[in-house]
Structure 1
Amino acid sequence: MPYVNIKVTREGVTKEQKAELIKGTTDLLVRVLGKDPKTTFVLIDEVDMDNWGIMGMPTTDYRKLGSGD
């Protein structure tokens, strides 16, 4: 029973994009590990950029440096 947790910054990921991530992740587990899609769970967490850090600072501050995407 695979459980995959995808975390992305909250920046307007669409319903369609989330559906594609869920399907693609499930398909990958089926193809590579032979897992049953009926028991494969994918959870997408959207995290506020102030709650996501990189290089010792919140993502919002990091991106102000022009170093982030």
Structure 2
Amino acid sequence: MPYINIKVTDENVTKEQKQQLIAGATRLVVEVLNKNPATTHVVIDEVHIDNWGVKGKQYSELINSQN
């Protein structure tokens, strides 16, 4: 039973985009690992940009400094 966890920042990811991520991740596991899509679970966690870090800084600070 594959379990796939996708984490993205909470920046307006649409329901349609989430569905594409779920379908694509499932398809990849089926194609690469020959797993059953009926038992492949995908969870998407949306992380607030204050709780996401890159380059040693909060992502919220980096995008705010670009504006």
Task: Give the alignment's TM-score, normalised by structure 1.
Answer: 0.88
1:1-69 superposed matches below 5 A: 1-66=1-66
How many angstroms apart in 2 are the aligned matches of 1:53 and 1:17?
23
Higher helix share: 2
Tell me by how many angstroms 1:63 deviates. Answer: 2.1
CA drift of 1:29 comes to 0.5
Please provide the CA RMSD for this pair.
1.0
The structural deviation recorded for 1:65 is: 4.1
In structure 2, runs of 5+ residues without a counterpart are none
Give the TM-score normalised by structure 2.
0.91
Deviation at 1:62, TM superposition (A): 1.7
d(CA) in 1 for partners of 2:10, 2:64? 17
Residue 52 of structure 1 deviates from its aligned partner by 0.3
In structure 1, stretches of 5+ residues that fail to align are none
